[in-house]
Chain A
């Protein structure tokens, strides 16, 4: 058997196809289809959030519900250093500032809470979003005497390229982490944390660092989305739905692979976009909840897992008959 040939084929599939997709997407704005770009911006936002969520929670099994908090920190970083009037840094720098702020917050939160058992962690992160929102409201209304801020507005194309770049980097980092020794350590933590510690994995360090890395990307997209919305207040920036949407998307797609969250994010943000354009947003949430329950009951490994199962069965049958 010629192994080198098979390896080339595999390398082409894992590296070639994403590169081709990336190139196609990079030339996408040239067609000048404005609605398409808005739609893709929406897709890319959730692709980044759900892949970033999977980097940490998908492998370790710690359910983080603080996505909205890190996303919101990015939004507020943009509001502070990229206002519509007055001095501001270049957008590229602002993205890094927002991402770094999220990274630091996640590092602190992780260092405090990741020693806790799984479910306490979920509770803590769930409350984090609400508390940051309450404190910001209190600060804005009581201390500053106003509510909300204006961020400099950016065009659709600029937002698209930034989101595409962030999404590409997020997926690349997710892939590299998964392939590396570090990813192996994460996986062993997910399977049995005590055993991982005995094998010499610095459990707390690995968890905290990965958590911070996943928050880095959430903060980065937060900055970009702030320039799209232009008006931000704590209620917009720290909406609890932003914590749960990525989780559902990742579970629906299947977080065993990197493709899973991407597929889940595209499908769900498309459904959302269709239903939200009419007066259907309440029904969107209803459908969203129903799909979440049904997925957990009947599709424990997600859409990708289902496809793999079906594929394996089809291939197996073919081989058996040959």
Chain B
């Protein structure tokens, strides 16, 4: 029973953060059609901005209000300048996808190495809400529960925004068919750039929440989250925001189950995600909620 609680709550903690990261990538890849390999690097930047603000006396949870808008602006400008120009020059969507993937890798290197030049490669951490809470007889760290709650809340608020607002409607239309949406009066360049910006902002917020719970490191932390987000987006179905949300939680529970199994351990958690990825590509490449 203890093990079950450990797996489920631990899984939801991991999964909440995975969901947030993946919803961001889902917007960038599912709607804006950029397989953003630099996604995890935006997350890392978010984590380090929080770390830097925290050193200067800003509460880590409040720093979300700074990190989110800052990364939104970076993402919006990147898409509106670089990726829009690639998109307009590409003869077909396939060429755009591969060229934007490579450009995203360029940004991966640029962002990561700027961060390394500023913060070095040693792991950084700070303590925040260090106490523990007991759930069903199992102790969980306060900061992780708070981070997971915030991740879920941001995810749900964003989902409502996509489902209810006018901008959200435009985004959903662009996800279905960008060229038709533009014929219907959606300003497609701005909408796609908004998606990319929202994606970067969500990665940044996830980074802030991660920095509350785990040590952060400039040169290694990003890529792992990018891979996880790619798996989750495939699992949930391309362009499906709710799919990414649910997929993130599923992957979190699978990851924590593998981590707590005696002869497997947390080293193989990432490997298990990849096994899911392979099976998915072979059996149901559209994902769970894909059309």
Contact = CB atoms under 8 A, between A and B. Distances in A.
Interface of A: 61, 63, 112-113, 116, 118-120, 122-124, 126-127, 130-131, 134-135, 137-138, 141-142, 240, 244, 247-248, 251, 282-283, 285-286, 288-293, 296-297, 300
A131 B277 CA distance: 11
Contacts of B230: 123, 126-127
A293 B101 contact: no
B119 to A, nearest CB: 12
Interface in B94-131: 94-95, 97-99, 101-103, 105-110, 112-114, 116-117
28 contacts: A61-B98, A63-B98, A63-B102, A116-B281, A119-B97, A119-B98, A120-B234, A123-B35, A127-B227, A127-B274, A130-B270, A134-B270, A137-B267, A138-B265, A138-B271, A142-B265, A244-B105, A247-B102, A251-B102, A282-B116, A283-B113, A286-B110, A292-B102, A292-B103, A292-B109, A293-B110, A296-B86, A297-B103
A119 B34 CA distance: 10
Contacts of B267: 134, 137-138, 141-142
B107 A289 contact: yes
Nearest to B263: A142
Contact of A282 (B97, B107, B113, B270): B113
Contact of B106 (A122, A127, A137, A290): A290
Contacts of B110: 286, 289-290, 293
Contact of A285 (B94, B95, B113, B277): B113
Given A124-B281, A282-B117, A286-B110, A135 B99 contact: no
Contacts, number: 109
Nearest to B224: A130
Interface residues of B, number: 41
B35 A122 contact: yes
B94 to A, nearest CB: 5
B282 interface: yes
B165 interface: no
Interface in B189-225: 223
B85 interface: yes
Contacts of B113: 282-283, 285-286, 289
Contacts of A288: 109
A286 B102 contact: no
B271 A134 contact: yes
B229 to A, nearest CB: 11
A130 B275 CA distance: 12
Contact of A297 (B82, B270, B271): B82
B227 A130 contact: yes
A291 B110 CA distance: 10
B278 interface: yes
B37 interface: yes
Contacts of A113: 281
Q: Which 10 interchain pairs have the tightest Cβ spacing?
A: A289-B109, A292-B106, A293-B106, A289-B110, A289-B106, A131-B274, A286-B113, A285-B113, A119-B97, A63-B98
B164 interface: no
B282 A293 contact: no
Contacts of B85: 297
B281 A300 contact: no
Contacts of B102: 63, 247-248, 251, 292, 296
B285 interface: yes
Given A127-B277, A289-B105, A290-B110, 9 more contacts: A63-B101, A113-B281, A116-B281, A124-B278, A135-B271, A138-B265, A282-B117, A293-B103, A297-B82
A116 B285 contact: yes
Contacts of A116: 281, 285
A143 B37 CA distance: 32
B133 interface: no
A120 B103 contact: no
B153 interface: no
Contacts of A300: 89, 99
B271 A131 contact: yes
A120 B281 contact: yes
A288 B99 CA distance: 16
A71 to B, nearest CB: 18
Nearest to B275: A131
B254 to A, nearest CB: 15
B41 to A, nearest CB: 10
Nearest to A122: B101
B184 interface: no
B268 interface: yes
Contact of B270 (A112, A131, A289): A131
Contact of B35 (A119, A130, A244, A247): A119
Contacts of B108: 289
Contacts of B277: 124, 127
Interface string B58-93: 000000000000000000000000100110010000
A112 B265 contact: no
A289 B108 CA distance: 7
Nearest to B111: A289
Contacts of A122: 35, 98, 101
A286 B274 contact: no
A278 to B, nearest CB: 14
A296 B99 contact: yes
A130 B228 CA distance: 12
A125 B35 CA distance: 13
A96 B60 CA distance: 56
Given A134-B271, A282-B113, A119 B105 contact: no
